[in-house]
A and B are shown apart, each in its own frame.
Chain A
Amino acid sequence: KNQVEQSPQSLIILEGKNCTLQCNYTVSPFSNLRWYKQDTGRGPVSLTIMTFSENTKSNGRYTATLDADTKQSSLHITASQLSDSASYICVVSARDNDMRFGAGTRLTVKP
């Protein structure tokens, strides 16, 4: 079983709407959690990185939350734009660069 589970697998929303992507993990011990955005045909781009002591972190219209007790994270996208269409990957590290990868959520924003 993957130690990092993302949901939903795919999501379609209308431009301007908000959405929330989920990441549940069983990785232990926990060092940090990253959210990446990956456009089709391109490399992933880091959105946020959170350590154990951080509950929330924002990057523009992207806000990530972390509940280390329940081992859950979410990525909230506000006022979605067509350019938000991409795959969003959650990566959890047990220590330093010992990383576990989620399968990603494919988001499509339609006009």
Chain B
Amino acid sequence: DAGVIQSPRHEVTEMGQEVTLRCKPISGHNSLFWYRQTMMRGLELLIYFNNNVPIDDSGMPEDRFSAKMPNASFSTLKIQPSEPRDSAVYFCASSPSGVGGETQYFGPGTRLLVL
């Protein structure tokens, strides 16, 4: 299995531009999580889906952030417009069923720099 796949691995953009991050979960996994990691704030859960349905988006910072999961094998996290404070590493993770206490498998992350 290829594991969780994220693209792009690195993104540099200018303030105000739209940024789209992509994630392909492990095949057969029903839950998908988006995280953000910075030096200042550490790891934060932004949103998670179960069976393609958003379950908890309370971690999404503000309306500039949106996430979709149109099917079981693909999810996007979009930032529009981007700001320098959005610079971070964004991780996608998946788990088999999303049940509490289940192992989550993380992707390699997308390192975003907003100038």
Binding site for B on A (CB under 8 A): 31-32, 42-46, 49, 51, 89, 91, 93, 95-99, 101-104
Contacts and interface: CB of A to CB of B under 8 A. Distances in A.
Contact of B109 (A42, A46, A99): A42
Contacts, number: 51
A27 B25 CA distance: 29
B42 A43 contact: no
A45 B107 CA distance: 10
Contact of A32 (B44, B100, B108): B100
Interface stretch (B11-19, B62-70, B77-85, B91-99): B91-99
B103 A97 contact: no
16 contacts: A31-B101, A43-B106, A44-B43, A46-B105, A51-B101, A89-B42, A93-B101, A96-B100, A97-B31, A97-B33, A97-B48, A97-B56, A97-B98, A98-B56, A99-B45, A103-B42
Interface residues of B, number: 24
Interface of B: 4, 31, 33, 42-45, 48, 55-56, 91, 93, 98-109
A44 B100 contact: no
A91 B53 CA distance: 24
